[in-house]
Structure 1
């Protein structure tokens, strides 16, 4: 089973089924919502997504028919939901366990942050 939580721990979730393929979205809405170069997401069937701490959740309609759901205490985005779909868009930065999925694509590169290079070779460190 896959598990996740917000930064403060008030909201937790379990995924009882499969986590879909991982996609990295570079659109300006995702960048601003996550204060990051891109957002990593995957689809999860509605019936496989079990949320606890719902009373701490807030939502924001970032585009018509799409709600972003986040912890009202710490602000961690947990998932998004498009009207009329049978799945949630899980925000993978909130995962506590391995989703067992693989990344398959980058989307909205036409809107990518100018200060980030997709293909680069940077120093890597295990810790700061």
Structure 2
């Protein structure tokens, strides 16, 4: 199933990406810088579909993810690193979707952890 879906191109990966990264206001606290980084990246997430189709834009998106990862709590730091690996696949003209397909299961797990953590920590509902 996943293999077939990924053959349609970056749009499927984008849907998963957006599920993991929709951003809203965060609460302050010990993870305030993390929540602030998510909030600051909101505009980047809105055009993620176009971003993944343009290698230069995907490279800028990787930089955004790197900034979020830098402030991410240990509970989700590795998950943000996984997201970075995924988006990096789109920084070339012709992404290797076969390799991406092999990584999707791991990314889906990371996306779920990011979603749960963002809701619990920052008050962000990534599922909407």
State TM-score, norm by structure 1: 0.27
Structure ID, larger Rg: 1
Instruction: Please identify which structure carries the higher helix content.
Output: 2
Instruction: Please identify which structure carries the higher strand content.
Output: 1
State TM-score, norm by structure 2: 0.27
